Structure 1
Amino acid sequence: MTIGYYVHHQGDGHRRRAVAIAQHFPDEFVLLGTGLAGRTGGLACIDLPDDRLEPEKRGDEATRPVSLHYVPTGHDGIRQRVAKIADWIATARPSLLVVDVSVEIAMLARLASTPTVYVRLSGERSDPPHLEAFRGARAILAPFHRDLDEPNVAPWVGEKTRYMPGLTGQRPADVHSNVVLVVFGKGGEPGNADAIAEAARATPQMRWRVIGPFTPPTGEVPANLTLLGWVENAQDEIARAAIILGAAGDGLVTAALAADRPLICLAEPRPYGEQMSKARRLDALGAAVAIEAWPEPSAWPDLLRRARSLRPEARQRLHDPDGIASAAAFLRDCATAAEHPVPQTIGPSS
């Protein structure tokens, strides 16, 4: 049995999630996406041509089908990746394609006679393309707890959704009680080192560590601030921190919940309000502190106190330590069921 797993290239959370799940059945999963070569932990993969356009070159909106999001014309990368995916489907005959995420890939799979499971992220996704991708999937997988979902999700979408929090690895570690870890990912803007330096100066009793991209500091870096940049052991840094500060993407939120650490969320702009939705729900449930803009230096002592005062139980209930194994088993069950569909009886036409 072969299960394909399509990985979107925005940020790195999709890849990490796919690798964590696929490692449970490494002989059955094949990852498909752009920039995967050498980054799948030894799992089989199909590295796809890039489909991105310069924003100013996006056109053809007047003729875009209502059921699709991104279909620019005359793009060689898209032509090549569609051909490569279709050729792989024809050759490998996968039992299932997990789509994390792309409406267009979900539609392509169905056109190529392949059932799908669609990964549904947070945010307002009631537009026609998303609804059609949901409708065409055998099941929908939401990589978060049910209580973090939007309250106005269509009932049929909610009923079709399997909520599966905890889709990240866990690394127990000794907590450094005075460490604030600031995390910037691949999918957003780099951090402002000068603004972080001001926050560190305002909280001299804390040690600040920064991982991910940031703009170079223009002044002296305080002694309680360490600018690490890209690291290979991000999960270890998260596990050791006392407080985590970062965006509200699935990857960081899931990692913070898995490590059982207080989280301060500064949501980044994303399509469909994905991060704003997640940050608002976390804050409303008392599982994180959501902020809308980088605070003034004088606000940091109180903000860190607020984060420390969050009740651990509020965030602990949103995590499933067996989430990865459960997701892998669920997808394998979906693939098995797709191989042996229940015959449907079609009644006489009226």
Structure 2
Amino acid sequence: MTRPVGYYVHHQGAGHLQRAIALARALDALGRRCTLMGSFSGLDIAGAPGPVLDLPDDRLDRSFDGQDGADQRPECFHYVPLNHPGIRARMGRIAAWAAEHDPALIIVDVSAEVALLARLLSVPSLVVRLSGTRTDRPHLEAFRAASRLLAPFPEALDGGDVPAWIREKTLYGGFLGGAPVKLAPEEDGRIVVVFGRGGEGGRIEALIAAAAAVPDRAWHVLGPVTGTGSPPDNLNLHGWVTDVRPHLVPASLVVGGAGDGLVTAVAALGKRFLCLPEPRAYDEQGAKADALERLGAAVVHRAWPEAAAWPKLVADGLTLDPGIVRRLAEPDALARTAAAIDALCRDAG
């Protein structure tokens, strides 16, 4: 019988889950069953093609940043608070699943602790390596414990401060999106602003100011928005949408952070991109935005712009060659990566 794959999904933001479901579907098409493992409360897992193992929440409070702040924490960990029953149950369920199902591989997206747990369980692991400067001790030990590393971005977007041994261990998967969207309408001049679940969302007052600064364009906003104010006629608030891609198709300019999900969609659709990287641990979004800017694939502004800055930023964004960002998207990236993962599983026996 074909040995299964376990796929641990981090609960910060929706991008990890979207990537996991896309890869799980591609593995399923190769006959490799994949069990998604994570805390899925409030997330849409209807698209998962196989079993789902819902884990107890491990957060201490709502300000969770992936670290526990303890000055006596072992140096190989980011987050190991003591006397937390959720963590105890969480790790126990992963271990019990591995003991019962004898997986060929555990994909870890992302957690230094789960990566090290996989090694302790004697299970080969494929650890997802995100953008940013990740040369701290926990990341390095997780990378060392892994059989291989998976970068969910093209090699052209990798940072220059990555040690050679990490690059050599990395499988560059490219942008790992889901099923292609149907390209129906052509661009109609609109600006589409996207806020993800992993950040603070938008402020209606700032969006009103932006729309007023560029009044000749229709503005469409996807994602959470807070605050009070009456939107002008050219500002349209759509709230949270499960799939942003159909909304991006008619956009002449996309505005948003440098999260994996949005950058993947922008590249796949070949959209001019005004990138506003959000603060993230290890400068994850900042590093990715710098690489996009270096390649000429985006205009980058490292904060929400003041009203007076919008006309020039929009004008600069509209002069971008969309072919540059489109060339970063490989149509076969998902299938190629799934095939490489299946090969790792076969090597495991």
Task: Tell me by how many angstroms 1:21 deviates.
Answer: 0.9
The 3-state SS of whatever aligns with 1:236 is helix
The aligned residue for residue 261 of structure 2 is: 251
The aligned residue for residue 4 of structure 1 is: 6
| Equivalent pair of 1:95/1:335 in contact (CA under 8 Å) | yes
| Equivalent pair of 1:66/1:129 in contact (CA under 8 Å) | yes
Residue by residue, what CA displacement relative to the aligned partner does 1:266-305 show, whole Å, maximum 9, x if unpaired? 1111111101111111111110111012222222222111
Moved more, 205-214 or 36-45: 36-45
The aligned residue for residue 218 of structure 2 is: 207
1:1-350 counterparts in 2 under 5 A? 1-26=3-28, 28-35=33-40, 39-43=45-49, 44-54=51-61, 55=63, 61-169=70-178, 170-173=180-183, 174-218=185-229, 220-339=230-349
The 3-state SS of whatever aligns with 2:249 is helix
Give me the TM-score of the superposition, normalised by structure 2.
Answer: 0.93
| Equivalent pair of 1:60/1:73 in contact (CA under 8 Å) | no
Task: Tell me by how many angstroms 1:60 deviates.
Answer: 6.7
Query: How many correspondences in the alignment?
Result: 338
Change (3 A) 1:332 1:40: farther
| Equivalent pair of 1:166/1:322 in contact (CA under 8 Å) | no
Distance 1:56 1:23 in 2: 30
Residue by residue, what CA displacement relative to the aligned partner does 1:72-108 show, whole Å, maximum 9, x if unpaired? 0000100010111000000011000000000100111
Distance 2:64 2:341 in 1: 38
The 3-state SS of whatever aligns with 1:182 is strand
| Equivalent pair of 1:235/1:255 in contact (CA under 8 Å) | yes
Q: Which amino acid aligns with 1:53?
A: L
Task: Tell me by how many angstroms 1:42 deviates.
Answer: 4.2
Percent of matched pairs sharing the same residue: 45
Moved more, 100-109 or 59-68: 59-68
| Equivalent pair of 1:19/1:40 in contact (CA under 8 Å) | no
Deviating beyond 6 angstroms after TM superposition, the runs of 4 or more aligned structure 1 residues are: none
Change (3 A) 1:235 1:60: closer
Distance 1:94 1:102 in 2: 18
Change (3 A) 1:73 1:141: same
Q: Which amino acid aligns with 2:291?
A: R
Residue by residue, what CA displacement relative to the aligned partner does 1:5-51 show, whole Å, maximum 9, x if unpaired? 11000000000001011112335111111016861414311000000
The 3-state SS of whatever aligns with 1:52 is coil
Q: Which amino acid aligns with 1:275?
A: Q
| Equivalent pair of 1:20/1:167 in contact (CA under 8 Å) | yes
Distance 2:19 2:218 in 1: 30
Which structure has the larger Rg over C-alpha atoms? 1
Distance 2:45 2:22 in 1: 12
Q: Which amino acid aligns with 1:264?
A: L
* Structure 2 gaps, min length 5: none
Distance 1:111 1:65 in 2: 16
Task: Tell me by how many angstroms 1:130 deviates.
Answer: 0.9
Residue by residue, what CA displacement relative to the aligned partner does 1:44-65 show, whole Å, maximum 9, x if unpaired? 1100000011259976723211
* Structure 1 gaps, min length 5: 340-350
The 3-state SS of whatever aligns with 1:281 is helix
Q: Which amino acid aligns with 2:18?
A: R
* CA RMSD, 1 decimal: 1.7
